Amino acid sequence: MPDFKTLESCFTPKAGILLTSHQNPDGDALGSMLALYHYFNRSGHKVSMVLPNVFPAYLAWLPGSGDILIFERNQAACEKAFRDADILFALDYNAPHRLGEAAAFFSVNKTAKRILIDHHPEPDTGSFDMVFSTTRVSSTAELVFNLIKSLDYSKMDKNTAECLYAGIVTDTGSFSYSCDYSETFFAVSELIRFGVIPSVLNNRIYSAYSENRMNLLGYCLSEKLRVYREYCTAYIALTLEELQRFGYKTGDTEGFVNYALSVEGMKFAAIFIERENKIRASFRSKGNFPVNDFARSHYAGGGHKNAAGGDSFESMQDTLTRFENLMKEHKESICNG
């Protein structure tokens, strides 16, 4: 575990702190950011938060989420937050380009200290003044828990704990992966001590989906799931027209790729989502097939060994043809991994 005690020298009284996280933010990005937002506010600092684009609606209940600045909606306010910061935290991403268009302002303030807190492999250490990075945790939220515990545990409260729990539970798929460490469950037990009620928060996260989202999921499973047993691979692909037909909102397809992976015998799964100018690909695997390497080699992406993503700039048909050729090429590694 990184030694967060070295952070103490960074903080002056009422420091201007900017918390940032990656494009297409998930529960870990949002939970980590909001937990530190509450912690630093309780510590007397001036805190701002910037996300490149909107977060999923099912996470809007998280305390403090209404205070987040969204770059695609309010670029001027976000640029000011970058310029005014004394300390910039990069949470749940390993390189500035993960900020999307907001990355243009990552280095605009030459005097700000840049601090990385992340659990993805291969951090871009050259872009940061301090790096706290390890893959041996469930989530960035777990790292933030340890930061708070190391620096000033008296500042932990229920709001902070709920945000951390949301980050951990979503990044582990409700404790079904990336949580083989006793430290993860110790952290959760501590969060419960601070007022987290897992059954209540799990319902807020997983039992408040829109009717449109549920109809889209049904459509994916009945009409769009493609299973290739000889390659131990399954995938789902959704066009822009299909998303619009089901009233798609950001976050509606979160977790859909896991349904493809849950088919018996599947060791590799993908979902392809068409955007305005690209196709977003998400990959999942079981066992030793490294989807982060796969994403990096073929989709200019990356991520974790068993959960990664990238982009295709070809048509949907060409993207799927290419993927099917790749799954055949990687058959041995997928099925025997």
Angstrom CA distances, 221 to 235, 256, 265, 316, stand at 10, 9, 17, 19
Q: What is the mean pLDDT of residues 298-320?
A: 94
Q: What per-residue confidence (pLDDT) applies to 2?
A: 87
> Which of residues 318 and 10 earns the better pLDDT score?
318
Q: What per-residue confidence (pLDDT) applies to 190?
A: 98
Q: What per-residue confidence (pLDDT) applies to 208?
A: 83
Q: Do domains 4-206 and 211-335 have the same CATH topology?
A: no
Q: Which residues contact 218 (CB under 8 A, 6 or more apart)?
A: none
Structure tokens that stand for 258 in this block: 């896991």
- How confident is the model over 133-181, as pLDDT tens digits? 999 999 999 999 999 999 999 999 999 999 999 999 999 989 988 788 8
Q: Is 80 exceeded by the pLDDT of residue 337?
A: no
- How confident is the model over 71-127, as pLDDT tens digits? 999 999 999 999 999 999 999 999 999 999 999 999 999 999 999 999 999 999 999
Instruction: Please state the three-class secondary structure of the chain as a single string.
Output: CCCHHHHHHHCCCCCEEEEEECCCCCHHHHHHHHHHHHHHHHCCCEEEEEECCCCCHHHCCCCCHHHCEECCCCHHHHHHHHHHCCEEEEECCCCHHHHHHHHHHCCCCCCCEEEEEECCCCCCHHHCCEEEECCCCCCHHHHHHHHHHHHCHHHCCHHHHHHHHHHHHHHCCCCCCCCCCHHHHHHHHHHHHCCCCHHHHHHHHHCCCCHHHHHHHHHHHHHHCEEEHHHCEEEEEECHHHHHHCCCCCCCCCCHHHHHHCCCCCCEEEEEEECCCCEEEEEEECCCCCHHHHHHHHHCCEECCCEEEEEECCCHHHHHHHHHHHHHHCHHHHHCC
The domain locations on the chain are: 4-206, 211-335
- How confident is the model over 42-70, as pLDDT tens digits? 999 999 999 999 999 899 999 999 999 99
Q: What is the mean pLDDT of residues 295-301?
A: 94
Beta bridge partners of 53: none
> Which of residues 287 and 268 earns the better pLDDT score?
268
Q: Which residues contact 51 (CB under 8 A, 6 or more apart)?
A: 20, 21, 25, 29, 30, 33, 68, 69, 70, 71
Q: What per-residue confidence (pLDDT) applies to 180?
A: 84
Residue whose pair of structure tokens reads 């492999």 in the numeric block: 121
Query: Taking a C-beta distance cutoff of 8 angstroms, is the pair 144, 166 a contact?
Result: no
- How confident is the model over 14-49, as pLDDT tens digits? 999 999 999 999 999 999 999 999 999 999 999 999
Query: Taking a C-beta distance cutoff of 8 angstroms, is the pair 139, 173 a contact?
Result: no
Q: Is 80 exceeded by the pLDDT of residue 201?
A: yes
Q: Which CATH architecture has domain 211-335?
A: Roll (3.10)
Query: Taking a C-beta distance cutoff of 8 angstroms, is the pair 138, 179 a contact?
Result: yes
Query: Taking a C-beta distance cutoff of 8 angstroms, is the pair 283, 256 a contact?
Result: no
Structure tokens that stand for 11 in this block: 């903080």
- How confident is the model over 230-285, as pLDDT tens digits? 999 999 999 999 999 999 998 899 999 999 999 999 999 999 999 989 999 999 99
Q: What per-residue confidence (pLDDT) applies to 178?
A: 79
Q: What percent of the chain has pLDDT over 90?
A: 90
Q: Is 80 exceeded by the pLDDT of residue 227?
A: yes
Q: What per-residue confidence (pLDDT) applies to 279?
A: 97
Residue whose pair of structure tokens reads 């397809």 in the numeric block: 253
Query: Taking a C-beta distance cutoff of 8 angstroms, is the pair 260, 235 a contact?
Result: yes
Confidence (pTM): 0.91
Check if CATH label 3.40.50.720 holds for domain 4-206.
no
Query: Taking a C-beta distance cutoff of 8 angstroms, is the pair 205, 70 a contact?
Result: no
